[in-house]
Every structure is written in structure tokens, then in C-alpha cells.
Amino acid sequence: MPSVEELLEGIRSGRRAAVSRAITLVESSRPQHREQARELLTALAGEAGAAGAGVVRVGISGVPGVGKSTFIEALGSRLTAAGHRVGVLAVDPSSVRTGGSVLGDKTRMGRLAADPGAFIRPSPSAGTLGGVARATVQAMAVLEAAGYDVVLVETVGVGQSEITVAGMVDTFLFLTLARTGDQLQGIKKGILEIADVIAVNKADGDREQEARVAARELAGALRLVRGHDEWAPPVVTCSGLTDVGVDDLWQRVLGHRDHLGPDGLGRKRAEQQLEFTWALVRDELEQRLRHSPEVRAVRDDVRAAVLAGDLPATVAADRILAAYDA
């Protein structure tokens, strides 16, 4: 791994290899790497200034099979053609048992991956939402320091991860399909309450009319869950495959950004930084607990007692915390 100074120089120069190594560093859970990552990010934060305010951060989610990767490739290609530099962070589900993840987005976005104006980074979620928050927010900081002015964060599309990603971006885009029942499912999961822009994807060929009907139904559902004085999320149709409606959808994203205004955007990012601060504290405490010699000394005995049914979980937790406090 190069030194922090070498990484800083490479990031400032926009070298892809340095950006990739820096993101690997901030994703690492090794104590030595975490210390180097803090040094790197502190230096980058000192240089960020007002430049970061011009970066557009968008979270993109949707049910499996909705065509997120195809849509992101279509959108990213349009943006790079317009002169933007686009960074894509695709949060992949990690195996809880092995830590491995699929990391297939570079394969699915072959055209965008080969685009010199784009950088795609599949990031394993490591099975924890805290891991998603720490690794993804810090990877965003690296990309922005390297001159990427649009950062797209694709979620795994499973449960609470959307809430986590929505808390680190300016605009949250939810992709859905016609005839999938997502209108009701979205309300149950709270997705419609956090979405800033909604798009019914795959609105092409015979499915175009169905998509328009689904968009109208979703717009009606939104009126039931959003207040009249709030931002009214637009519901549009698009097709990532045929590149229809993608530009209009991007204009809706920029419209939400304009709605926030410089002051609103600043407040939103400040609140996100505060929440991220506590996420880092929780993550660091978990790491310290995991690596504490005192905890290791009692861990096996506590584990055996809990598995044997001799020790309730509440007492076991107290014993572990008491060992850590000691």
C-alpha cells in the first residue's frame, strides 16, 4: 500500500490507480489501515472547501430486477458525454459467513466501466449497515477530492440499506416497475417517505402504457404519505435500456437540488455529517470491543454458557461489557 502522501498526490492528480487504492484503504477494517485512512481523510477534508458543494450526490435504489445497473450506465454515459466526471459506488451484499460479495457491477456496466470519465467501484457491505456508512461516505470523499462532480450510490435494494444510503446523499432516487405491487410494498417499507424522485423503469415497447399507469398510481399513493408543504416527489417513466426519459429524470434530480437551495443543501449535509459522526463512534466502539484483550479472555466462557442455556443473553451482555470496562 502506498504512503498517505503518495495517495494524496495521486488523488489530487485524479489518477485512477491512486483513487482505487485510497478507497481500498478506507474500506479496510485493519487497525493500521484505519489510522492511515483517518490521516488521509483529514487531509482531504482540509482541502475540500466549497468545491464539495458543487458535487451532486445521488442514491439509487430499487427492487431486484428493476434494471438499476442498466439505468446507471445510461445515465452515467449521458453525464460523461456532457463533460461530467461520474463516480459510481455500488454497495454489494456480503456473505455474513465468508465476507465475500458478488461485486458484479463492473461486468453489468461494461460500457461505463471503460469510459475514462467514469469510475465504478463495487463495495462490499461487509454484512453491516455501519460498514456501509463508514466505507461509502469515506469513498465518496475520495472521489470528490479526485474531481468527480457526480457521485451515484447504488444500494443492494434490501430493507434498511436504503435508509442508510438516503442519509448520505442529496437526492434519493427510487426505481420501480409496473405490475409488481411496489406501490404498496414501498409504502410499507417507508421507501416512498424517503424518496425524492421516483421512476418507473423499463417503460419501453408494450410496457410503456403499463408504466404510465403505474406512475399515476404511485403519484396518488404519494399524496397519502407526504405532507402538502413538503417537496412533492415527481413520478416519471424511463427506460435505461433504450435511453428514453433518462435526461428528463436527471432534470428532476437537479430540480430537487434547486428546491433545497444552497442553504437547505448545506443544512442537510451538516446534519448528515453529525449522524455520520455517531455512526463512526458506534463503529469504532464495536471494533474496540471486538479486539479488547479483556473481552477475548471471557468471550469463550460466555459463548459456551449461552449456548448451553446456563446464561441469559442479558447477563452475558453485562459480563462482556464489564470485561471491556475493566
Blockwise average pLDDT, block size 10, the chain, 326 residues: 89 92 88 88 74 85 85 95 94 48 58 92 61 79 93 76 85 85 55 86 87 85 71 91 93 95 93 88 86 94 96 96 92
If we measure between CA atoms, which residue out of 145, 150, 144, 215 comes closest to residue 178? 215
Q: What is the DSSP letter of 169?
A: S
Indicate the residue type of 232: A
Rounded Cα–Cα distance for residues 176 and 178 (Å): 7
Sheet holding 235-237, edge to edge: 118-124, 86-92, 150-154, 56-62, 171-176, 197-200, 235-237
Tell me, what's the pLDDT at 27?
A: 84
pLDDT score of 313: 96
Contact, 173 vs 253, CB < 8 A?
yes
Give the chain's largest Cα–Cα span: 67
Quick one: pLDDT at residue 229?
Answer: 64
Distance in angstroms (rounded) separating the CA atoms of residues 28 and 18: 15
Residues 166 and 159 sit within 8 Å (Cβ to Cβ)? no
Q: What is the pLDDT of residue 232?
A: 86
Per-residue model confidence (pLDDT) at position 250: 96
